[in-house]
Amino acid sequence: KQMAITSAFLMMGGFFLIGVYVAGALGVLSLILMYAFSDAPLWNIMGNKAWETNTNFILIAVPLFLLMGELMLRSGMGERMYGAVSRWISFLPGGLIHTNIASCAIFAACSGSSVATSATISRVSLPTFRSRGYSERLVIGSLAAGGTLGILIPPSIGLIVYGVLVEESIGRLYLAGFIPGILLAAMMMLMIIGASILFPSIAPREPGSSWRLKLIGLFSMIPVVIIILVVLGSIYAGWATPTEAAAFGVTGALVLALVNNSGPALMAGLLKKMNSSGSTTGLMANLQERYPDSEGALRQSMTINFEMIKDSVLSTVRTSSMIMLIVVSAFTLSFAFARLGISHDISQWIIGMDLSSTQLVIVLVIFYLLLGTFMESFAMLVTTVPILAPALVATGVDLVWFGIIMVILVEAALISPPEGINLYVLHGVRRDVQSEMAEAAGAAEEVGTITDVYIGVLPFMGVMAAVIVLLIAFPDIALWLPDQVKGSR
């Protein structure tokens, strides 16, 4: 058995260091361990694990939440939401940088995906920041860190996967993530205020907006608020499971996206047919001016809708296939570890250290922070949680509380140099924006490096560390709300 444990961790470390894809590394490791150290029917086991994972009702929520985020991203809802939020909070020291955090927090309550949140808000905001003289490092850092709120503030794909791995209530995990998510966003904004007061040159003062513009902008928030209420309201009220709520959210996002793209042209055509008197005043005049050829505009909007739905579905398929393949491999590896007794031995070794629940969590926090510097965040979650869960239960660690800490650690891994995926997403979007702006201005492209992104996220990683300390010191930050809504356990 000692040989199996040593071989497992040497091979796992080797696979990740040479850059083997996560799903491939976990799957190949499972096959080698089962073939070399067990006589179990290997192919039957793999087939069963693939079937069990891909027919898990809770995990069906993953592609649904991804599709909802993609529809919102490509329909323009995120862009209008960003503009509305900026009018209300840009007066704070730090200006529009606060809008990045606030918009990411709001969009996170719709998409459940960190990558979708980062891509949406950064694509909308970066051109504005470049033209107004903000510190690009702090801007990029706020976008990368704000995007990580997508896997903490419900609905969260990370919490769904964690809940499935430890067999914990998704609804309770969602309730537990709400207050820490808002706290994390608020502390990031406080850090931006402090940095802007100490170093005024990093963020110019923004002119205030009139109350009329602020109130008009609130109408842009209505679609986002509707989706949040449909998804989270149905889960918290007990009317729907996370999967059913995700289906409601996808339906709502699709309807709102179609209305957004085709509604005005359709309304112009209907009013034109109903207007037998030929009146050209008020709403009719405005719509006729915008859509003189209402039928042509409607056909064009239908083409846009088709492309939007096609691109959203293809992107969802790519991302969810990657996630589900990793989860299948992780469950297969978990079975191999259990079959060979590796999980039990590791659990007994941890229990034998005779640590209190708080001491164990502190040790694991340090372990995950180090692990996140070179391992992809999702790989951290699916490879370690099934092994650690028995030891956590035996030590008396609340799995809901630890789940929130775990997800924040996964967030830190998303922006932890040099491996964090959000850093590369932001750097890619940044290069695209630089190229587009240079082409429009007829100037040479300004070339930024990934080092700027690394430096920009460091203050936000400090904020994440502070929130983890608060959660360890005061567990009720995470546990109070689920205990109030669902009763204490």
User: 169: helix, coil or strand?
Assistant: coil
pLDDT at site 472: 92
In the predicted model, residues of the chain with pLDDT beneath 50 are none
pLDDT in tens, 284-311: 555 555 555 556 666 777 778 888 888 8
Give the angle subtended at the CA of 121 by the CAs of 118 and 125, to the nearest 5°: 130
User: Which percentage of the chain shows pLDDT scores above 90?
Assistant: 7
Q: What are phi and psi of 276, to 5 degrees?
A: -75, -20
**Distance (Å, whole) CA 383 – CA 388:** 9
Burial readout 450-482 (b: 16 or more C-beta within 10 A, e: otherwise): bebbbebbebbbebbeebbebbeeebebbbebb
pLDDT at site 130: 66
Dihedral, CA of residue 317, residue 323, residue 374 and residue 152, to nearest 10: 100
CA atoms in the 13 A half-sphere facing the CB of 92: 22
pLDDT at site 276: 52
486 within 8 A of 175, measured Cβ to Cβ: yes
57: exposed, middle or buried (Cβ count in 10 Å: 0-12, 13-18, 19+)? exposed
> How distant, in Å, are the alpha carbons of 144, 422, 423 from that of 428?
12, 10, 9
pLDDT at site 478: 92
**Distance (Å, whole) CA 31 – CA 36:** 8
Model pTM?
Answer: 0.75
pLDDT at site 475: 92
